[in-house]
Homo-oligomer: A and B are copies of this chain.
Amino acid sequence: MTKQTIAFLGTGLMGAPMARNLLKAGHDVVVWNRTREKAEALTADGALLAESPAEAASGADLVITIVSDGKAVADLLFSQDVAKAMQKGATFVDMSSITPQEARDHAERLAAAGIDHLDAPVSGGTRGAEAATLAIMAGGEEPCFERAKPVLEALGRPVRVGPSGAGQLAKLANQAIVAVTIGVVAEATLLVESGGGDPAAFRDALKGGFADSTILQLHGRRMSEGDFTPGGKSSIQLKDLNNIIAEASSLNLALPLSEAVRTRYRALVEEMGGGDLDHAALYRQLKEREQDLS
């Protein structure tokens, strides 16, 4: 692997351990964060601190961002002049979770300036960020992906899924699978309990079969133990589902299961005040509905 100069913009809960893994891999990393202290902390690990995002980006082979949403990415690129500061032939890798349309727009505007763009959102949470085991779903041109790949491998497992925007679509699809699987595990748990069955024995019986999954075992346990300390918050799950449905309807796609589970998350978050509970708390929403009906 060739040593690269990397600008890392956004060193929050996810970004900080990711920047640290790039330093460990031997790269020169220049960091910037809106809250300066969070970036400053990384200088102890060997990072250089930039005074502005544009300063970080100038001279970088690769600019990596992981910030809250599409607006924050656009602000960095076009209001805070990261795009202008980047050298021709450099690559912009956006690891934030934003909409596919926003990612395509950014790619197009950067292409006009001779800068390559990769949308590369991640899955795996802070634990995956620390352990460098993130699933990285990348959208963009093949040669651009191949150039960024050795760097991204210091963060997890990068896979190119398609052209610009496809990484963000894959991330949405990932979230749809998580939400709907949680929903049906809740339904299955209710069904088993309704006949006096033991959900833990049920999960044990299903181990290794077609119905088995990490969600059955992990979130299923949270449901039957009533432990909804958040791993993933229900409010975030609802936000993801809203993005999924919005994207799908702009594509004229019908996603009946994602829509059905969105209705339930909306009730959990907006009617039951469960936004800060783990997304496995959907079980509680389904159970209460049942009690209303009976």
Chain A interfacial positions (CB closer than 8 Å to B): 100, 123-124, 133, 135-137, 139, 157, 159-163, 165-166, 169-170, 172-178, 180-181, 183-185, 187-192, 194-198, 201-202, 204-216, 244, 247-248, 251-261, 263-264, 286, 289-290, 293-294
Contact = CB atoms under 8 A, between A and B. Distances in A.
Contacts of A251: 191, 194-195
B178 A192 contact: no
A198 B157 contact: no
Contacts of A255: 187, 190-191, 286
Contact of A252 (B181, B253, B263, B290): B290
B123 A191 contact: no
B214 A210 contact: yes
Contact of A257 (B175, B187, B244): B187
A207 B251 CA distance: 26
Q: Is the interface of A mostly helix, strand, loop or mixed?
A: helix
A205 B149 CA distance: 13
Contacts of A162: 192, 195-198, 201
Nearest to A211: B177
Contacts of A173: 187-189, 191-192, 202
Contact of A201 (B159, B172, B211, B252): B159
Nearest to A175: B211
Contacts of A260: 256-257, 259-260
A293 to B, nearest CB: 6
A166 B169 CA distance: 40
Contacts of A178: 210-211
Contacts of A139: 195, 197
A285 B187 CA distance: 23
A181 B213 contact: yes
B192 A170 contact: yes
Most buried by B among A196, A259, A293: A196
20 contacts: A100-B195, A137-B205, A159-B205, A161-B201, A162-B198, A169-B197, A173-B202, A177-B188, A178-B210, A180-B184, A181-B181, A184-B257, A184-B258, A187-B258, A191-B255, A210-B214, A213-B213, A252-B294, A254-B286, A256-B264
A88 B242 CA distance: 60
B196 A166 contact: yes
A79 B166 CA distance: 61
